[in-house]
A and B are shown apart, each in its own frame.
Chain A
Amino acid sequence: MNLDYFVLIDRILDLDLAERTIKVEAQVPERHTIFEGHFPGFPIMPGVLLTEAMAQSSGWLLLGVLKFERMPFLAIVKEAKMRGFVSPGQLLTIDAKVEHEGSGFAVTKAKGRVGKDLKCSAEITFGLAPFPDPAFRVHMDAMANKIGFPLQAMPHD
């Protein structure tokens, strides 16, 4: 995780476009100023960041499903449940699947675990829109390479 840049996902472990599922890893940093305030003497990942991590995982899945032709933008979070504390230094594994692909929107379900322990889950809806700027698309391509987005799932221009 690079919390300063709001990059919550480190690695894509598996992307199955036929099953429309993804599994990613997110290493919670040992130290960050966030943990100084949240909370003093009891540092834990804020639930809003766990939700964002589930959203980013779902976003990479949808980018694969959409062949990078559209960008998923977070629209609705439902049933977000923080089921247990996630501490600095823990390795979070997030699984997401496409629940529904509608016209101009998509819905995913995501679950985050530390080891076998379920820590968070949510149903997340995204609006799907063309990339608003070519530089944005270039950035996402670079990010995809960095986090191990499977080459065979990348569109070839």
Chain B
Amino acid sequence: MSSTFDQIANIIAETCDIPRDTIKPESHAIDDLGIDSLDFLDIAFAIDKAFGIKMPLEKWTQEVNDGKATTEQYFVLKNLADRIDELVAAKNAGTGAAS
């Protein structure tokens, strides 16, 4: 079974037509890969479906806007993979969405 990062990278490559080999764990979805908010909606839909979760994008955005978090925490892909793993773990534990 592929890693969370690999699954995300494959989704991004397919959704945004970005060469798979240019997508690295250290890549920032916005700053490095140039993914805009509309493409990110598509990616979020694919990730939600693939992992059976609901990524709290609005909460994350609010935290960034309020200065409580950086975009790197959510949009550098290795960090995004960690957030997704947390959400999946919380779902499996029956505790709802992790944040």
Scan B50-77; emit 1 where CB is below 8 A from any A CB, else 0.
0000111111010000000000000000
Please judge, given known A-B contacts A100-B49, A102-B44, A107-B45, whether A75 and B58 are in contact too, CB under 8 Å.
no
Q: In whole Å, how far is A10's beta carbon from the nearest beta carbon of chain B? A: 30
Assess whether B55 is in contact with A76, with CB atoms less than 8 Å apart: no
Interface residues of B (CB under 8 A from A): 38, 41-42, 44-45, 48-49, 54-59, 61
Q: Which A99-140 residues have C-beta < 8 A from chain B? A: 100-105, 107, 125, 127
Query: Which residues from chain A contact B44 at a C-beta distance below 8 Å?
Result: 102-103, 105
**Complex-state Cα separation, A107 to B43, whole angstroms:** 12
Interface residues of A (CB under 8 A from B): 75-76, 100-105, 107, 125, 127
**Complex-state Cα separation, A134 to B38, whole angstroms:** 26
Assess whether A76 is in contact with B38, with CB atoms less than 8 Å apart: yes
**Complex-state Cα separation, A102 to B58, whole angstroms:** 10
Query: Which residues from chain B contact A101 at a C-beta distance below 8 Å?
Result: 54
- 23 inter-chain pairs at a CB distance below 8 angstroms, sorted by A residue, are A75-B38, A75-B41, A76-B38, A76-B41, A76-B42, A100-B49, A102-B41, A102-B48, A102-B55, A102-B57, A103-B54, A103-B55, A103-B56, A103-B57, A103-B59, A104-B57, A104-B58, A105-B44, A105-B45, A105-B57, A107-B45, A125-B41, A127-B41
